[in-house]
């Protein structure tokens, strides 16, 4: 009794306690409701007061600011304050910073890019962008970045660009302008004009590291969409990396836990991955040294977590760049060893980055053996506690799979699929299906894995997967019997996924007769297996089963009665599709003859060759990412396929199950509705590829089509000399010293600043006409300094190699910032005659070779005189002038060969590395009385005479001034020493 009483007492106590807690909660709710009611009442009262104040007008700027601040707070609480939007807009026009600041803050919160009031602030924002007050500039830039859409970008984009490139803009304004332009570009790419490219790229050399960082972020996005337009960023990125990592050119403010400028290092390393590896040996060597230094620094162990994080960020981006270059074998060997340690790290971030880098390596490496050594660890990563690590492990297993380990990897993935996260199951199913098809060599293994995959993860199997299975089974006879037998067994099970029922309906309808004689596979058993699934399936699956049954009518007349009964039942279905099918099939089955039935139910032909849609489905999640990577998840074969590399919607597999031919596609499904038929065709109807964009032809400003005015004078002078001034104006002087040895040439370019202001972003770019590509090549041995002070000088050494005879000289584009962007495009004094050596011949040898060469096409001859402009300028042809021209073109003048002593006879040899040597002979016959010349050139190669004739004519028709020209003294010894030093290095 006591026990019972005690128990009852305790029970009542527990109930009282629950009631008490409920009462306390009820009181708290009442208090909260009361508080909300009071708050709403207070806010409504305040809103009424503010509305009245705005209506009365005559408010000072301070009071307007105060009331707009109150509206901001009320808006954040969730109340409607639309009546105050106009007052907030008016505050932007204030001349006081505090009032303007609140106005901009309110506009960024109240308005959106399509708000009807936004057009009212455009003029105010433009005024602030043009203002000399940098703080006003920054407020306007903030507003554009936070609110600006397409219309605002088109109206103000040019003003933002002007602030970015203006030499008077402060560094903090340039930073904000670069990031604002980036935001506008992401919303509307057309806002950034193509002719802005060179000016934007030049800012990567800005002395302020913050500006360089912001501009690099902008260039990273712009370059992904147009590599050719921003190709100048490659050399600048390499040079900046070298100056940070090797030369230590950075301010202490940008050292983060002893790691110099990790943010800009990461961005520069990522930017280089968007471009193909440079062909310039000097840039490659600079990059190699920089990457080696980064790897060496990473060997130092640090206990500081922040330092490790910064160092690892730089290290892994450097590793990805090394893999992208795919040429530095020594560096590749180093990173292969390190990645194995990274994926075993205790830190989740390091494991994630290690798996990602190893996936990139698998996409580039010629052999997967270094990665396969860590296969067990990678498989174990599928069970990592972090889902992002599990995703990367899945990507890596997919990429490293080949014929040697496909069975193990697919088995492990299937085992893990049972407990995998729902977020990655569909992706896992796609990858398992692709690997199964790609590496299966056994008939039974492919069918078993495919059906087991669908049975385990049916809800996560996309249409592309089961349709691909049907395609392959239909097109490979050795699969059909085994597949039909297994499909029937799955359909007989009580719990069979609907996707398996679809496959079973198609396969049994087409190939069920092949197993009809086997035990447990009779026609009636096939019918019972499918009919038992009719009640629980969707309409599309029922339609496929009905189509299978009409084929059974044709194949198995003994069960026609049961089949017709099914058609009769569904002829009254409320579903129009099912009703129509049932009525049509019922009519076919009851026709007096079977001729039409046999025709309609004829066996489906093999599907036409078409690429699989599996890869399209797999890469769909990466197609719209902001970072357009240069590789895709998959092995090296996948990355060799340009379509898959570009995330193309029609990526497709390239082989069938049994042979190496192209993967086959599909035609109409076995009685499937129209939408599913389209899927079976192998086309992704729900994901239309990106519309073809108009490609804008990017002008090559370094080409001969954009030569700067005044380039001819220095060029023509240096055609006959080895050193001198190539170009000079009020800001820059370009000097050239050169030496030629056989088919090799060394040019040392000297750039001297004459500008009173500092030159920054000094850049040179070489170019060659497309028709001459391969005839002459160069190797840059040094980059000019990016910064030049008044009177300062920098140089650039370039080695040229004449591989074959060429006609057009290379050009050089020089650009720098000095108040504004300045640029020059000059033609280098490099011509085929520079690679000629004078030859000594006797008269007998000369005439012998003259006759051996013969006339056309190995001869070029022309009679010409002074140009009209030269005659008007009182210029003339005389012996001294002609001799200097002939010697300047490196002819060896032969005396005593021609009977007429006034004639010039010469011989030389043209040197090329691939074309060999060509002998050249010259006969120049001047008539000083008539001021005419007959010039004849013969050579052992027919391409040489017309080129030499044209160049000599262009120089001779100019003539010589009647006043004596003084020739500058030669500096052969200095040039020889410089050339020798460069060649030794």
Q: Which residues are annotated as a binding site?
A: 21-22, 53, 62, 66-70
Contact 369, 333 (CB under 8 A): no
Contact 910, 832 (CB under 8 A): yes
d(C-alpha 228, C-alpha 238), whole Å:
17
- Write down the H helix ranges in 840-924: 843-853, 868-872, 879-888
Contact 211, 177 (CB under 8 A): no
What would the DSSP string read from start to end of 639-679? HH-HHHHTT-TT---S--SSSSSPPB-----SS--HHHHHH
> Cβ-count burial of 199 within 10 angstroms (0-12 exposed, 13-18 middle, 19+ buried)?
middle
Phi and psi angles of residue 787, each rounded to the nearest 5 degrees, phi first: -125, 130
d(C-alpha 289, C-alpha 354), whole Å:
23
How far are the Cα atoms of 554, 570, 582 from residue 585, in angstroms, in the given order? Answer: 11, 10, 5
Contact 707, 690 (CB under 8 A): no
How many Cβ atoms sit within 10 Å of the Cβ of residue 253?
A: 9
d(C-alpha 484, C-alpha 470), whole Å:
11
d(C-alpha 137, C-alpha 128), whole Å:
6
First to last CA, the chain: 108
> Cβ-count burial of 466 within 10 angstroms (0-12 exposed, 13-18 middle, 19+ buried)?
buried
d(C-alpha 174, C-alpha 557), whole Å:
83
Contact 658, 476 (CB under 8 A): yes
d(C-alpha 163, C-alpha 175), whole Å:
10
d(C-alpha 814, C-alpha 629), whole Å:
31
In the chain, % helix, strand, coil (3-state, to 5) comes to 55, 10, 30
State the maximum Cα–Cα separation within the chain, in Å, rounded to a whole number: 151
Q: From start to end of 915-984, where are the E strands?
A: 916-927, 932-939, 960-961
What would the DSSP string read from start to end of 714-737? HHHHHTS-SEEEEEE-SSEEEEEE
Q: What angle do CA 387, 389, 392 make, to 5 degrees?
A: 110
Contact 281, 779 (CB under 8 A): yes
What would the DSSP string read from start to end of 397-449? HHHH--TTTHHHHHHHHHHHHTTS-HHHHHHHHHHHHHHHHHH---HHHHHHH
Phi and psi angles of residue 773, each rounded to the nearest 5 degrees, phi first: -60, 125
Give a three-class secondary structure readout of 569-604. HHCCCCCHHHHHHHHHHHHHHCCCCCHHHHHHCCCC
What would the DSSP string read from start to end of 47-59? HHHHHHHHHH---
What would the DSSP string read from start to end of 783-805? PPPS-B-TT-EEEEEEEEEE-S-
H/E element, 10? helix 2-56
Query: Crossing angle of helices 406-417/387-400, nearest 10°?
Result: 150
């Amino acid at each position: 009794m006591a026990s019972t009483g005690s128990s009852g007492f305790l029970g009542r106590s527990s109930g009282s306690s629950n009631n008490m807690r409920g009462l306390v909660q009820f009181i708290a709710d009442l208090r909260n409701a009361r508080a909300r009611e009071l708050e709403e009442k207070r806010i409504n009262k305040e809103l009424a007061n503010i509305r009245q104040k705005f209506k009365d007008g005559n408010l000072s700027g301070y009071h307007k600011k105060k009331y707009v601040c109150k509206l901001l707070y009320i808006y954040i609480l969730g109340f409607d304050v639309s009546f105050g939007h106009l007052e907030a807009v008016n505050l932007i026009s204030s001349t006081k910073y505090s009032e303007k600041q609140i106005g901009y803050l309110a506009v960024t919160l109240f308005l959106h890019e399509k708000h009807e009031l936004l057009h009212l602030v455009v003029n105010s924002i433009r005024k602030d962008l043009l203002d000399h007050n940098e703080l006003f500039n920054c407020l306007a830039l903030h507003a554009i970045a936070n609110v600006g859409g397409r219309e605002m970008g088109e109206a103000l984009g040019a003003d933002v660009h002007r602030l970015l490139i203006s030499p008077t803009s402060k560094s903090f304004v340039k930073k904000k302008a670069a990031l604002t332009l980036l935001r506008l570009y992401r919303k509307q790419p057309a806002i950034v004009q193509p002719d802005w490219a060179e000016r934007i790229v030049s800012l990567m050399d800005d002395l302020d590291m913050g500006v360089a960082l912001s501009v690099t972020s902008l260039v990273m996005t712009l370059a992904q969409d147009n590599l050719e337009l921003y190709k100048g960023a490659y050399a600048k990125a390499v040079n900046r990396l070298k100056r940070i990592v090797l030369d230590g050119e950075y301010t202490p403010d940008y050292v983060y836990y002893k790691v110099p400028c990790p943010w800009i290092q990461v961005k520069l390393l990522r930017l280089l991955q968007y471009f193909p590896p440079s062909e310039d040996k000097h840039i490659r060597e600079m990059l190699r040294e920089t990457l080696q230094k980064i790897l060496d620094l990473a060997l130092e162990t640090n206990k500081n977590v922040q330092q490790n994080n910064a160092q690892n960020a730089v290290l892994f981006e450097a590793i990805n760049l090394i893999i992208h270059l795919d040429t530095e074998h020594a560096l590749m060997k180093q990173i292969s060893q390190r990645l194995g340690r990274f994926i075993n790290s205790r830190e989740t971030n390091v494991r994630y980055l290690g798996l990602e880098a190893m996936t990139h390596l698998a996409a580039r490496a010629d052999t997967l053996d270094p990665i396969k050594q860590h296969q067990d660890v990678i498989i174990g990563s599928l069970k990592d506690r972090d889902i992002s690590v599990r995703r990367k492990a899945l990507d890596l297993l997919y990429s490293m799979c080949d014929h040697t380990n496909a069975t193990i990897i697919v088995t492990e993935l299937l085992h893990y699929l049972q407990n995998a996260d729902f977020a990655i199951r569909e992706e896992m199913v796609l990858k398992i299906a692709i690997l199964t098809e790609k590496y299966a060599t056994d008939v039974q293994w492919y069918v078993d894995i495919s059906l087991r995959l669908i049975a385990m993860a049916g809800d996560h199997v996309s249409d592309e997967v089961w349709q691909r299975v049907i395609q392959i089974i239909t097109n490979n006879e050795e699969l059909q019997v085994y597949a039909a037998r297994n499909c029937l067994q799955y359909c007989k099970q009580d719990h069979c996924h609907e996707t398996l029922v679809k496959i079973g309906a198609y396969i049994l309808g087409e190939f069920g007769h092949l197993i009809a004689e086997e035990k447990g596979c009779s026609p009636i058993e096939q019918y019972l297996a499918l009919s038992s699934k009719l009640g629980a399936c969707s309409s599309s699956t029922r339609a496929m089963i009905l189509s299978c049954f009409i084929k059974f009518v044709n194949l198995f007349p003994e069960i026609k009665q049961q089949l017709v009964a099914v058609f009769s039942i569904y002829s009254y279905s409320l579903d129009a599709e099912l009703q129509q099918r049932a009525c049509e099939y019922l009519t076919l089955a009851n026709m007096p003859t079977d001729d039409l039935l046999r025709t309609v139910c004829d066996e489906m032909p093999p599907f036409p060759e078409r690429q699989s849609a599996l890869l399209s489905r797999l890469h769909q999640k990466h197609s719209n990412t902001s970072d357009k990577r240069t590789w895709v998840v998959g092995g090296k074969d996948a990355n060799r396929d340009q379509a898959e590399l570009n995330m193309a919607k029609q990526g497709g597999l390239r082989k069938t199950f049994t042979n190496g031919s192209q993967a086959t596609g599909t035609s109409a499904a076995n009685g499937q509705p129209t939408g599913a038929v389209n899927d079976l065709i192998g086309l992704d109807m729900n994901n239309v590829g990106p519309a073809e964009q108009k490609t804008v032809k990017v002008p090559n400003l370094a080409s001969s089509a954009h030569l700067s005015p005044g380039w001819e004078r220095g060029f023509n002078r240096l055609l006959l000399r080895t050193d001198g001034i190539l170009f000079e104006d009020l800001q820059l002087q370009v000097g050239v010293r050169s030496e030629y040895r056989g088919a090799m040439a060394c040019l040392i370019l000297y750039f001297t600043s004459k500008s009173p202001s500092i030159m920054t972003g000094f850049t040179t770019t070489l170019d060659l006409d497309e028709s001459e590509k391969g005839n002459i090549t160069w190797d840059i041995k040094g980059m000019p300094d990016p910064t030049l002070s008044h009177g300062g000088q920098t140089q650039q050494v370039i080695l040229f190699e004449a591989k074959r005879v060429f006609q057009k000289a290379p050009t050089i584009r020089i650009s720098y910032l000095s108040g504004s962007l300045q640029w020059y495009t000059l033609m280098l004094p490099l011509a085929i005659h520079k690679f000629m050596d004078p030859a000594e011949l006797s008269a007998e040898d000369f005439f012998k070779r003259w006759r051996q060469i013969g006339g056309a096409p190995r001869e070029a001859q022309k009679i010409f005189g002074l140009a009209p402009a030269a005659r008007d300028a009182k210029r003339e042809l005389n012996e001294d002038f002609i001799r200097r021209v002939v010697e300047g073109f490196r002819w060896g003048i032969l005396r005593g060969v021609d009977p007429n002593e006034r004639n010039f006879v010469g011989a030389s040899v043209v040197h090329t590395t691939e074309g060999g040597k060509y002998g050249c002979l010259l006969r120049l016959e001047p008539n000083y009385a008539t001021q005419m010349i007959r010039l004849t050139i013969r050579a052992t190669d027919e391409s040489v005479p017309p080129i030499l004739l044209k160049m000599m004519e262009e120089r001779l028709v100019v003539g010589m001034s009647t006043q004596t020209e003084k020739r500058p003294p030669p500096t052969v010894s200095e040039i020889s020493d410089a050339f020798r030093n460069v060649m030794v290095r």
